[in-house]
Every structure is written in C-alpha cells, then in structure tokens.
Amino acid sequence: MINKKTAMVLGATGVVGTQLVKQLSNSHNYKEIHLLTRRHVEINEPNCTVHTVDFERLSSFAHLFNVTDVFICLGTTIKKAKSKEAFRKVDYDYVMEAAKIAKSCNVEKLLVITAMGANSKSAFFYSRVKGDVEGGLQQLAMKSVHIFRPSLLLGEREEFRAGEKISGILSSIAQFIFIGPLRPYRAIETKKVAAAMFIAAQTSTAGVHLYHSDEIEKLATSDDQ
C-alpha cells in the first residue's frame, strides 16, 4: 500500500539535496514533495513541485510547511557568501526560521544537516555556526528532530571547490586508514547522507537524534543487510 506522507526539502539543488529528492521521489512513500529554492530550477522528478521563494520572507510561505516531514539541506561557504554575516544568514538564520515554521505547522519530523565538529564554543567560525544551529533545534522541543553530522562530503557540486576536490580524492584513496577510532572522520558519499535522512524519516522515534558520520553510513546501508 502506497504511503500518503508529504515532504518538503530546503536546499534541493545542493549536493545532498539533489540526491535526497531522488530518494524521496523514487520511494513511493510520499504523495507530494515540495522543493523550496532561492532561484528557479527545473526538477523533473515525480510528485515534486518547485517553489521559488524569498528566504528573507520565509514566513510568507508558511502554508507550504503543512507537510509530514521537513528536510533542511541548506548550506553555503564563506567564499561563496562573501562574508561571515552572509554565511550565518544562510546556515543559521534560514535554517532556524524554517524549523520554527515547521514546528508551528506541527510537522512530524525535522531532518537537518549540520557538520562534523559542530560546537557552539569552537574556535572555528564554521563549527560555531553549526553548533548554534544544533543548540537552537534542541531548544525548539519539536516532536522528532534528526541531526546529521557528516564529515567531508564526496559528490559532484555545481561549483568547483578545489580544496574539497583534492581532499575528497585523498580521502577516497586513504579510506583504509580511517578505521577504529578514526572511522568517524572517513569521508562519506552524498548519496549515503541522503539515504540515511530518508531512512530516519521512516522511523517513529520521538525526541532529538544525532548521527555522526560513521553512524550516517551505517544507517544508510541498514536496508542492505
């Protein structure tokens, strides 16, 4: 019997978001999938509707949040955002605003990507922002929140990031080194992060759940066992 769940994806055009949209669309678990994007894009996946929205006025689109599950895959870089303030706006402000709207709409599950090393007290700005997001999400006290902390992501991006490309190649070659206590630092494929998010959304567990990179990989492959 086909499920009648509905979903929303923010960041559907990103490196994880594109994989997640395919997972959701191909699963037959969702009758409707709403994609919120900052620019017009053509996504020809079954049951998907693209909504081009102004993230500065996200509350104006609150009616679109009347879904079962909300997946937040938003993220940028300081280089692309041009400043720390602009980076925080995307990676913290937009994420928290979406989460608050989702709570007001009684969304059953909120699934969010942060990053390995997320810590609000970190010396690194990037990690502090991600840590602030995690703290904010926990304070919202929603029904069910799933936070994913992937390490270096392996996947094709729209923009070329030389540092990540080189690191990804080296990590792929040296995967055998990252065993035992180093396993959580192993690079992970974007499609596995997407798979883990999808699988977590099909569970019925309440509360806040945090997945480190090695746990994400384990969850992503659990259906293969």
- Active site residue ranges: 126, 130
Distance between CA 15 and CA 119 in Å, rounded?
Answer: 23
SS3 of residue 214 by DSSP: helix
Beta carbons of 108 and 143 less than 8 angstroms apart: yes
Could you tell me which residues come within 8 angstroms of residue 157 by beta carbon, excluding any fewer than 6 positions away? 15, 164
Distance between CA 56 and CA 69 in Å, rounded?
Answer: 22
- The two tokens of residue 164 are 């990540």
Distance between CA 157 and CA 211 in Å, rounded?
Answer: 23
Using the structure block, give the residue that is written with the tokens 């080194």: 177
- Greatest CA span in the chain, whole angstroms? 50
Beta carbons of 81 and 24 less than 8 angstroms apart: no
Distance between CA 219 and CA 184 in Å, rounded?
Answer: 13
